[in-house]
Chains A and B, each alone.
Chain A
Amino acid sequence: GAGVSQSPRYKVAKRGQDVALRCDPISGHVSLFWYQQALGQGPEFLTYFQNEAQLDKSGLPSDRFFAERPEGSVSTLKIQRTQQEDSAVYLCASSRSGVSHEQYFGPGTRLTVT
């Protein structure tokens, strides 16, 4: 079946612009995660949904970052007034409900803020 898809794959934004990154999880996966991966680093947790409920947003770096999953499927990560430090790869992952299920990752969106 289809894996996790993300769009766009690459995004260049001028500093101060707003961006929206989309994630389509695997069909039927209840949990959805966003991670930020800076160059040369491991992914860092941003936020987590179970269905449409955002259960943990402790990793969002500032109030310029906002995520939603209104119908419990597709999710959008929005960054307002982008800054150069926002340049990174944004990874989305989904998983089935349950404690031991692994997360399946999408290819990521590489955001470059100029």
Chain B
Amino acid sequence: AQSVTQLGSHVSVSEGALVLLRCNYSSSVPPYLFWYVQYPNQGLQLLLKYTTGATLVKGINGFEAEFKKSETSFHLTKPSAHMSDAAEYFCAVRPSNFGNEKLTFGTGTRLTIIP
């Protein structure tokens, strides 16, 4: 079974400041991990994913995340926030074994950018 915990349902940062969105997961098998972004009235867009290999993963729009197995974490960061980053962010996990492709999502973090 898998689960995802996103600490902080709302995060506010100033424009130009560091963005840090937290995600911790629980998985009975090695996980694949994802961050998605959702803008109002739109579907989810993939920011980045970790499957195998390098634990520091770079995604679109300057975001990156690091898989830390010992901490069961996959936190999302961006060095300098932009107004266009305001959105809802979801962390998701799925098992890495073949045949089990469903994603389990966290409850989301709404990111607000302060001008």
Please report A residues at the B interface, Cβ cutoff 8 Å.
Answer: 4, 31, 33, 35, 40-45, 48, 55-56, 59, 91, 93, 95, 99-100, 102-108
Contacts and interface: CB of A to CB of B under 8 A. Distances in A.
Contacts of A93: 44
Interface stretch (B61-69, B75-83, B99-107): B99-107
Closest 10 CB pairs of A and B: A42-B105, A105-B43, A100-B51, A105-B44, A45-B102, A107-B43, A42-B107, A43-B105, A99-B98, A102-B46
A107 B42 contact: yes
A23 B49 CA distance: 24
Interface of B: 4, 32, 34, 36, 41-46, 49, 51-52, 90, 92, 96-99, 101-108
B96 A99 contact: yes
B interface SS class: loop
Contacts of B101: 31, 33, 48, 95, 99, 103
B68 to A, nearest CB: 20
24 contacts: A33-B101, A33-B102, A33-B103, A35-B105, A40-B108, A41-B108, A42-B90, A42-B106, A42-B107, A42-B108, A43-B44, A45-B102, A45-B103, A45-B104, A55-B99, A99-B97, A99-B101, A100-B49, A102-B49, A105-B36, A105-B44, A107-B41, A107-B43, A108-B42
A41 B4 CA distance: 13
A41 to B, nearest CB: 6
Nearest to A98: B98
A111 to B, nearest CB: 14
